[in-house]
Amino acid sequence: DAGITQSPRYKITETGRQVTLMCHQTWSHSYMFWYRQDLGHGLRLIYYSAAADITDKGEVPDGYVVSRSKTENFPLTLESATRSQTSVYFCASARGQGTTIYFGEGSWLTVV
């Protein structure tokens, strides 16, 4: 759905560099999520946010930082990228707790 967009879609970066993945949604959804997807691990929650200025850790938060100063944006920053952070990253949003979540198209990140 065009209502949630991620950028960049594809990124190659070097070990140790800082990388920020952007996520923007136009629905004014309260909840936003960041998941990473790796073969054999399904979708693992990195961080999520219940509202602007409220964020909380998911299953695999180490090495990542998030912020949510505005309802519509939820950037994910890798402060010092490592090869183990090579993955597909999905941003998602939901109107409320336990409601349908809508995923972005994904950001393919390779750390070399």
Partner 1 sequence: GQQVMQIPQYQHVQEGEDFTTYCNSSTTLSNIQWYKQRPGGHPVFLIQLVKSGEVKKQKRLTFQFGEAKKNSSLHITATQTTDVGTYFCAVLHSGNTGKLIFGQGTTLQVKP
Of 40, 39, 29, nearest to 48 (Cα)?
29
Q: Which residues contact 78 (CB under 8 A, 6 or more apart)?
A: 18, 19, 20, 21, 63, 64, 85, 109
Closer Cβ to partner 1, 83 or 98, answer by number: 98
Question: How near is the Cβ of 103 to partner 1 at its closest, in Å?
Answer: 4
Closer Cβ to partner 1, 18 or 95, answer by number: 95
Residues in the site for partner 1, rule: CB under 8 A? 31, 33, 35, 40-45, 48, 50, 56, 58-59, 90, 94, 96-98, 100-106
Question: How near is the Cβ of 41 to partner 1 at its closest, in Å?
Answer: 7
